[in-house]
Amino acid sequence: MAISLASLRSSTSLSPPRLLLYGVAGVGKTEFAAASPRPVILQTEDGLGRIEATTFGLLRSFDEIMEALAALYFEPHDFETLVVDSLDWLEPLVWQHTAQTHSQPDIESFGYGKGYLAALDTWRGFLDGVNALREERGMGVILIAHAEIKRFDSPETEPYDRYQPKLHRSASALVQEHVDAVLFANYRVSTLKSDVGFNKKVVRGVSGGDRLLHTAERPAFLAKNRFGLAETLPLSWPELAAGIPFYATPPSAAPASTTEARS
């Protein structure tokens, strides 16, 4: 296609969001995602519990994941949000598929680090399918992952521990490039000092039960967003959606192309 000034067009922020939501165990990540508009969940783990949601059932291979994405792309439906629960349970399926594609017994058989690099092509295929649903079917995307604590080697300070998504570092970086927000869910934690005698004090973490959603990076955790969200929000879908233009803007104010994509 020839490029000319006639092909210029205005960008718009009224596109369905792509969100990576990760957090500590039991904080309510799946419940949060299930409150999004008309969700359909791609399950790689059996974590719904009593949450009522529409799902393809437990998907046990990468091919089944891609078949589910294809069904949502080609078949008529009124779902508005794709939820993948979870990425870290999807990752072994990615590794298995990558090994089979390259006639290897497992991901480690490629040689030091080579298997995880080869797996990025498989991840890209998955992300291409997700992006097609966003761009051509008008679906928002929520990718769920668990959290892990790992050492971060900062070029500016001494190394320190922080929360991050529980994925191989190369896959995590690739997913982060494809999303509009990396959101960290955790309980509100405060510290309490207790005097145990002999001039010694013990510091204990105390949780008040409040569930929070962090949207901006801090030394303790990885996070980002492109929406100008408040740095900390309650872990509540309405609270988050109010700060995302695609959901906060009335349909009558949305461009025609966006409104059509959501209908």
pLDDT grade for 3, boundaries at 50, 70 and 90: confident
Ranges 12-21, 105-114, 202-211, 219-228: which has the least confidence: 202-211
Q: Residue 102, exposed/middle/buried by CB under 10 A (0-12, 13-18, 19+)?
A: middle
In degrees rounded to 5, what are phi and psi of residue 225?
A: -160, 155
Q: How far apart are the first and last CA of the chain?
A: 29
pLDDT grade for 34, boundaries at 50, 70 and 90: very high
Chain-centroid distance of CA 186 in Å reads: 15
Q: What is the pLDDT of residue 48?
A: 86
> Residue 12 pLDDT more than 70?
no
CA-CA-CA-CA torsion sign (111, 60, 74, 84): negative
Over range 141-159, report the average pLDDT: 92
pTM, to two decimals? 0.86
Q: What is the pLDDT of residue 4?
A: 85
The CA–CA distances, whole Å, from 252 to 11, 86, 98, 135, 257 equal 18, 34, 45, 20, 12
Closest listed residue to residue 172, CA positions, set 90, 61, 232: 90
Pair 118, 102: CB distance under 8 Å: yes
Which residues lie closer than 8 Å to 126 by C-beta, 6 or more apart? 62, 65, 66, 69, 90, 94
Please name the fold of domain 16-262.
Answer: Rossmann fold (3.40.50)
Q: What is the dihedral of CA 158, 183, 12, 80, to 10 degrees?
A: 160
pLDDT grade for 144, boundaries at 50, 70 and 90: very high
Which residues lie closer than 8 Å to 214 by C-beta, 6 or more apart? 183, 184, 185, 186, 221, 223, 231, 232
Q: What percent of the chain has pLDDT over 70?
A: 85
